[in-house]
């Protein structure tokens, strides 16, 4: 597994390695290599008895209120006539100069 790591030089000499995802673990050491080795060990220990799974969360705000109606007129015998009536009405509205 590839894990992005933030590697920082510390002001008082040394380095800090911090994993960014899927969990935040940090290790500090005098050298860059040591910090990365310690971080790798910590991550291996943490994931030794774990697994990463994906969970889908459906949020009501994500769905459009008309989605349940989508496709309900598909193959309906009156669909073409209804669409033509809508186009005719739109032309009438657009042609009326007194309409706001």
Task: Answer yes or no: is 70 within a domain.
Answer: no
Helix, strand or coil, per DSSP, at residue 72: coil
Residue 22 lies in a domain: yes
* Residues 29-51 pLDDT 10s: 999 999 999 999 999 998 898 88
Contact 46, 23 (CB under 8 A): yes
Domain range holding 24?
5-47
**Model pTM?**
0.52
First-to-last C-alpha distance (Å) of the chain: 62
pLDDT tens digit string along 50-72? Answer: 888 888 877 766 577 787 788 88
Number of domains in the chain: 1
């Amino acid at each position: 597994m590839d894990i992005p790591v933030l590697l920082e030089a510390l002001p008082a000499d040394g380095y800090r390695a911090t994993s960014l995802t899927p969990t935040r673990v940090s290790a500090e050491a005098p050298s860059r290599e040591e910090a990365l080795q310690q971080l790798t060990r910590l991550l291996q220990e943490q994931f030794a008895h774990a697994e990463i799974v994906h969970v889908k969360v459906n949020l009501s705000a994500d769905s459009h209120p008309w989605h349940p109606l989508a496709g309900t007129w598909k193959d309906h015998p009156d669909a073409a006539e209804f669409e033509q009536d809508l186009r005719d009405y739109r032309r009438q509205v657009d042609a009326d100069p007194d309409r706001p």
